[in-house]
Each structure stands twice: as structure tokens, then as C-alpha cells.
Amino acid sequence: MRELAEKYHIALPKRELTPSERAEVALRQSLISMNQVAADFYHEVLMKSEKGRPGIKYLSDRSLSQETIKEFKLGYAPDEWDSLTAFLNVKKMDLEKAVQGGLIIREEKWRVLRSFSSPSHFSYF
């Protein structure tokens, strides 16, 4: 709606967000940021890590060029159940928010949080 209003030079009334709306916006921004960190991690694994070699082979066997891989920021999730969790820990990211965002899952209350692993990871940003 804002884009249309700007396009046609229409002023929209502004209102203050409620505390719950502010919290929702903050959470959404935090989850977007965390997803970007995860996408960067998987892209780095694919492009710069030995662990990413199977992903490069998989994508090149399907005729995807390096330019396409970089343009769409494709990544690779290594066959390690905790690689993203460990990375997020190093970055001091909130693992509870990673669970909320679906990046990792908690198996049991006192066990390690798991991140997914699959042949390829496609990021949409």
C-alpha cells in the first residue's frame, strides 16, 4: 500500500504501533536477519569449503554456472546435523529465535539443537 501511495503521491496517515506490533516487527526483522546469516553460511560452505564439493558437483551436473550459483546465492548444507547450530552459536545468535524461524529444531529439552542437512539449499532474498 505504501508503494502505491508513494507512486501516486498520496499521503498515508501514520499511527504509532502498539507494543505487540513493535515486538512483532522486531521479531520479523530479527528472523530475516538470521535467515540472511544462514544463507550466507550455506553459500560460503558451497563456494569456499571442502564440505561444499558435493554441492558444486550436484549443481554443475545440472548445468548451473558459477554465475548462477552466485547470483541466486545457492548454498550447500553439509551432511552434519549441527553445522548451522554451531555456526549460529559462534556468531552469538539467539538459538530460540532460530527455532522460531524454522532454521533449526530442538529434539529434546536438554539435547543439542539440530539444523537441517540436504544436498542443496536455496535461499530466496
Examine residue 49 and state whether it is found in any structural domain, yes or no: yes
Q: What percent of the chain has pLDDT over 90?
A: 60
Q: Give the CATH number of the domain where residue 52 resides.
A: 3.90.980.10
User: Would residue 38 count as lying in a domain?
Assistant: yes
- Is the pLDDT at 124 greater than 60? The verdict is no
pLDDT of residue 117: 61
CA 112 to CA 85: how far, in whole Å? 9
Q: Which domain holds residue 89?
A: 20-121
pLDDT, tens digit, 9 for 90 and up, residues 47-106: 999 999 999 999 999 999 999 999 999 999 888 888 899 999 999 999 999 998 888 888
Is residue 8, in this structure, part of any structural domain at all? no
Asked whether the predicted pLDDT for residue 21 surpasses 50, the reply is yes
The pLDDT, as a whole number, for residue 91 is 93
Cα torsion 63, 65, 66, 67: sign: negative
For the residues 101-114, what does the mean pLDDT come to? 70
Asked if residue 48 belongs to a domain, the reply is yes
Q: Kindly list the distances between the CA atom of residue 57 and the CA atoms of 60, 64, 99, 109, 122, in Å, as whole numbers in the listed order.
A: 5, 10, 30, 37, 16
Asked whether residue 77 is domain-assigned, the answer is yes
Number of domains making up the chain = 1
Q: Is the pTM of this model over 0.85?
A: no
Q: Residue 78: inside a domain, yes or no?
A: yes
User: For 107-114, what is the mean pLDDT?
Assistant: 58
Averaged pLDDT of the chain:
86
11: in domain: no
Give CA–CA dist 79/3, Å, rounded.
Answer: 42
Give the mean pLDDT of 41-45: 94
